[in-house]
Amino acid sequence: MRTQVGIVGAGPAGLLLSHLLALRGIESIVVETRSRAYCEARQRAGVLECGSVQVLREAGLADRLDRLGLEHGGIYLQFGGQRRRIDFRDLTGGRTVTVYAQTEVVKDLIAARLAAGGAIEFEISDTEVAAVTTARPVLRYTGADGVRHEVTCDAIAGCDGFHGICRDAIPAGLRTVWESGYPYAWLGILADVPPSTDELIYCHHPAGFALHSLRSPQLSRLYLQVPPEEDIAAWPDDRIWAEMQRRFALPGWELKEGPVLEKGITPMRSFVCSPMRHGRLFLAGDAAHIVPPTGAKGLNLALADVTVLAGALISLLRDGRGELADAYSDSCLDRVWRATHFSWWMTTMLHATPGAGSLEAQLQLSQLRYVTSSRAAATSLAENYVGYRPAATPG
Ligand code: RFL
Ligand code: PHB
């Protein structure tokens, strides 16, 4: 088999890349270990930066996003018995974020690819990438029917997430990895209850961080800081709600409870791999970098990477020009490091470190008071949250 770009992974990165390439006449195949139903149901991110919304809109993928997405002009920071708003519109010249679940983004992308006759192979196994430093890299996999395939490509995009195989195709001696864990995890729930808030609430509390997010006017998404090795079995629904009530408590405000539709625990880490390119293999999204979710950056970075990558591959494969491909890694890593710092900063400002002395809490509270009272500090948070810097759609 022969295609121009072999794409490993049908997450947001791989799917958007195949779509952006198809819009410019570049052929690709997407291979994915999981089933379509699994990819469409996996509960993950919820916040799109304005640049991500613009890329999806310009690619003709925003029909449902424009109908169902909820535009938010700010967030609340809650700490020390008060809830203060950061006004993105005011601080960033009118920019906003949009709450629209990653599951919906993935559904839209899969539907658009299949409607356009795009090739997505689900439930494949034994993915291999080879000859990536030649002009004809090779992608091998076993299809759902058990048949082994070999696809000769012009380039391969490793969009296979943090646990994928593509990153390891860059020889260890040629890549540098920076990594750090955090001494806490998030317990996330999807609840069948209208949100109790009009904007997301990021809540600092001595017992640990909590986040009130949403999915629709009827569905709430909430998170609690828990110990990293916590067993979800230790958290029956009534314990989760009791802990939410304790952390979010504010006089005159009520947290509404409802049936818990889904729950799970997510560990946290910061991770960056450089370079994001080796020969004709290009990494994008979680395959190359991971951030803790407190800054709502992971999905947005994945979409930004492939927006840049699409431009680089179009230039390379259509016009025979390699400059953008050569610049790909550095131009993405600039944004990745900004988001890595922002996510680390939000995380360490808002979470309680187990065993930390009381000095830490005082420093966090001082930072929270500063960021909610100084226009300069609030602007820095706001411009990072809405997206610094957005990637432009390839021409
Ligand atoms: P994905 O989504 O992990 O997709 C990778 C795909 O590759 C497949 N795969 C393979 N396919 C073929 N062969 C192999 N050998 C393969 N190995 C793996 C996998 O099955 C999968 O389908 O990576 P991608 O596309 O880079 O997208 C990244 C985002 O999914 C991720 O960064 C975000 O979900 C992170 N994130 C958030 N990001 C935001 O921007 N805003 C948020 O509000 C936000 N909240 C979150 C989050 C992540 C969370 N979790 C669960 C980690 C909240 C949570 C709780
Ligand atoms: C979510 O809605 O899932 C969400 C929102 C904001 C975050 C992380 C996750 O920072």
Mark whether 293 is an active-site residue: yes
Round to whole Å and give the CA distance between 303 and 83.
Answer: 32
**Protein residue with its CA nearest to atom 9 in ligand 2:** 45
Residue 367 DSSP SS3: helix
142 lines ligand 1 (CB under 6 A): no
Give the separation between CA 240 and CA 130, rounded to whole angstroms: 47
* Residue ranges in the chain modelled with pLDDT below 70: 395
Ligand nearest to the CA of 291: 1
Ligand 2 center–CA 202 separation, angstroms: 10
Residue 349 has a pLDDT of 98
Looking at every residue in the chain, the average pLDDT score rounds to 97
Q: Which atom of ligand 2 is least distant from the CA of 102?
A: 3
Tell me whether residue 184 is one of the annotated catalytic residues: no
Q: Are 217 and 194 in contact (CB under 8 A)?
A: yes
Q: Tell me: the pLDDT tens digits for 229-261? A: 999 999 999 999 999 999 999 999 999 999 999
The radius of gyration computed from the CA coordinates of the chain, to the nearest angstrom, equals 21
At residue 395, the pLDDT reads 64
- Token pair 């969009």 is found at 159
Q: What is the pLDDT of residue 389?
A: 83
The pTM for the full model equals 0.97
* Residue of the CA atom closest to atom 5 of ligand 2: 46
Residues 6+ apart with CB under 8 A from 289: 271, 272, 273, 301, 336, 340
Dihedral over Cα of 24, 299, 97, 388: its sign? negative
Q: How far is the CA of 210 from the centre of ligand 2 (A)?
A: 11
Judge whether 347 and 180 are in contact, CB under 8 Å: no
Q: How many A from CA of 148 to the centre of ligand 2?
A: 39
Does the beta carbon of 9 lie inside 6 Å of ligand 1? yes
The pLDDT value recorded for residue 393 is: 74
